[in-house]
Amino acid sequence: MAFRADPLTDDLQPLTMRDAWASHLTDLVHTDPRVAVVLADISDDLFEEARKDHPDRVINVGIREQLLVGTAGGLALAGLRPIAHSYAPFLVERAFEQVKLDFEHQGTSGVLVSVGASYDWAEGSFTHFSPRDVALFDTVPGWRVFVPGHAAEVPPLLDRAVAADEGVYMRLSLRHNENPHAVPDDSLLVLREGNDATVVVVGPLLDNVLEATADLDVTVAYTNTPRPLDTVGLRELAADTGDAIVMVEPYLEGTSAWLVSQAYEDRPHRLLSIGVGREELRRYGTAAEHERLHGLDAAGIRARVRRFLGLA
């Protein structure tokens, strides 16, 4: 049987986010004795040399995801900064009690780095999709969420994740923008200014949003650090667009609605949430096709934003 796509590599990119992450993390393992890597077979081939040099800091537990996160929690108890990695549904959904009890309840933290995102390996279908991951992390107080939009954004985000005191979830994807964008802190990066709405877009959906809104009178702001969401910056931007807000996220639709609502307790606002739908599609195909089915391609985003603005 021949698969059309490798679930972890993308022929269209010279360097995937996963490649950039593994390369930079290998450097960190060699230079920072606090850094430890825990794997569950996925991506183990990228760390073979580092594991030989640091057998107690580069660990492959095999296909055992509860142990994956539990071991990372134990490394944190020993004072190290663990980075645990696997496919998103196995890392986050299967082992979520370990996130809750082996980090949060122990009063420790770590870095969890996933691949696969919402539908990267569309041929693999629902078992390998994880659109609910960021919503789950919203239930754990204090965790940051980083969603790079390009491989070149990964190393600086990884540096921040390793240096942070809080837990960090990094969501790597084969979907990406044409160019990287430097976001030096947690602020929203304004790429276009307009009057009718403020569109906040997360990570790899930026190019689709820019295309979708090219002739619309809207502000477009980008973030690859959606947690903590820059709600102060959002309020400032939206004040100039009639407090009309569009959140475009590459994971479960509405994931950030609660944060926008919380930020607007004192002010009326309108919110359109665009993201991955809740229903299982039970379709195969490609990631680009799933993006279209969820209305996350440029045409789909454009249609919904125009309706929100009363233009359609």
Binding site for another protein (CB under 8 A): 33, 36, 38, 54, 56-57, 59, 61-62, 64, 66-67, 69-80, 82, 97-98, 101-102, 105-107
Q: Name the strand (E) or helix (H) holding 88.
A: helix 88-88
Least distance to another protein, CB of residue 164, Å: 19
Q: Which of 159, 196, 182 is nearest to 32 (CA)?
A: 159
Residue 38, strand partner residues: 59, 84
Cα–Cα distance measured from residue 201 to residue 209, given in angstroms and rounded to the nearest whole number: 7
Q: Which of 45, 21, 1, 4 is nearest to 173 (CA)?
A: 21
Least distance to another protein, CB of residue 98, Å: 7
Q: Which residue has the tokens 């603005």?
A: 309
Least distance to another protein, CB of residue 165, Å: 15
- For another protein, the closer of residues 16 and 71 by Cβ is 71
- For another protein, the closer of residues 48 and 211 by Cβ is 48
Q: Could you count the other beta carbons within 10 Å of the beta carbon of residue 215?
A: 6
- For another protein, the closer of residues 49 and 97 by Cβ is 97
- For another protein, the closer of residues 68 and 170 by Cβ is 68
Least distance to another protein, CB of residue 91, Å: 14
- For another protein, the closer of residues 67 and 135 by Cβ is 67
CA distances (Å), origin 268, targets 244, 264, 271, 294, 311? 9, 7, 10, 28, 22
Least distance to another protein, CB of residue 219, Å: 43
Reported as half-sphere exposure (CB side, CA atoms, 13 A), residue 150 has a value of: 13
Least distance to another protein, CB of residue 72, Å: 6
- For another protein, the closer of residues 25 and 174 by Cβ is 25
Q: Which residue has the tokens 């490609």?
A: 286
Contacts of 52 (CB under 8 A, 6+ apart): none
Which tokens belong to 188?
């929203």
